[in-house]
Amino acid sequence: MTPRVHVTGPVPARVAAELERDFALVDEARGADGILSLLSTTVDGAYLDAAGPQLRIVANYGVGVDNVDLDAAAARSIVIANTPDVLTRTTAELAVSIMLALLRRVAEGDRMLRRREAWRFSLEFMLGESLDGKTLLVVGPGRIGRETARLAEAFGARPVYAGRRDPLDELLGEADVVSLHCPLTPETHHLIDAAALARMKPTAILVNTARGPVVDEAALADALRAGTIAGAALDVFEREPAVTEELLTMENVVLTPHLGSATRRTREAMGLLAVGALRAVLLEGRRPENAVV
């Protein structure tokens, strides 16, 4: 019998075509043998139980698996797969893009022109900061963090790294740019809180392309208002799709709507990787290379 697969949201046409080739697509999780989940779907024990005991794999359309209860999946012998590697450079590129947009006031300048404000060229007008010579603290030196460091080095930044065993507190005080690349776990929830922000230099900026809840967004708004830090570039938010209202009013804040992996090529590659995991488990009876559980 053709395995039944449920997809929790719209996927690129090419990915849908691949799914249709090998699987019977079903409208609900209940009764599915495999699930292709988007990050907006919470896959917890209750969700897995509602799907039923025939469920064998959940392929998550993303590298982050914080929307999935891995222990609950392991307890039920359900394979969980993710989509690493294919989005590494794309996401690092976005991190450096919003970093530069903030430092060089790209978004601020764009907003000013769109307001049709009077302006004229002058030597002191809208001066920014170069990434050249800056100390870049990469929090979470995994694939995306290291690639972000590599790209930033091309602009003259000096990367330093904070992993699970590194003294984040000290490093925060040295950095000009703090860029977050850690997964969201109970340990990293609100890793950047009021105390962490207070350790940063008043001239430093925070960049987040990881997960919103790694930052205490209310504390960040307070820190930006008080001048505790100089700015923030955010692609992810604590209560997505909501954005803390005050951040929307601040000129020293660059905001993008979770675009880290958002190129057609990358989104297709992620989808094909997820389909490959579904095929491995449901058609070939083997564990996929990109299994995390």
Among 211, 217, 267, 279, the one annotated catalytic? 211
Taking the least distance from each CB to ligand 8YV, the nearer of 129 and 235 is 235
In sequence order, which ranges of the chain are alpha helices (DSSP H)?
A: 13-22, 45-51, 70-75, 88-103, 106-114, 143-153, 168-174, 194-199, 217-226, 264-282
Taking the least distance from each CB to ligand 8YV, the nearer of 61 and 131 is 61
For residues 17 and 176, what is the distance between their CA atoms, to the nearest angstrom?
46
Total site size for ligand 8YV, rule CB under 6 A: 9
- Please report whether residue 84 would count as binding ligand 8YV according to CB under 6 A: no
Taking the least distance from each CB to ligand 8YV, the nearer of 134 and 267 is 267
What are the angstrom distances between the C-alpha of 177 and each of 90, 98, 131, 279?
A: 20, 12, 9, 42
| 240 assigned to active site | yes
For residue 192, the 8-state DSSP code is B
For residues 24 and 9, what is the distance between their CA atoms, to the nearest angstrom?
16
Among 4, 14, 158, 258, the one annotated catalytic? 258
| 211 assigned to active site | yes
| 21 assigned to active site | no
Backbone angles phi, psi at 37, to 5 degrees: -105, 140
Backbone angles phi, psi at 13, to 5 degrees: -55, -40
* Sheet hosting strand 253-255, strand order edge to edge: 158-162, 135-139, 177-180, 205-208, 231-234, 253-255
Among 240, 246, 268, 287, the one annotated catalytic? 240
Q: How many CA atoms lie within 13 A of 55 on its CB side?
A: 31
23, 32, 57, 61: which one binds ligand 8YV (CB under 6 A): 61
Shortest CB 124 distance to ligand 8YV, Å: 40
Which string of x and - marks every residue 252-291 that binds ligand 8YV (by CB under 6 A)? --------xx------------------------------
34, 64, 140, 141: which one binds ligand 8YV (CB under 6 A): 64
Shortest CB 217 distance to ligand 8YV, Å: 17
Q: Which stretch binds ligand 8YV (CB under 6 A): 14-22, 58-66, 133-141, 214-222?
A: 58-66
Active-site residues, by number, are: 211, 240, 258
**Which chain residues interact with ligand 8YV by CB under 6 A?**
38-39, 61-64, 87, 260-261
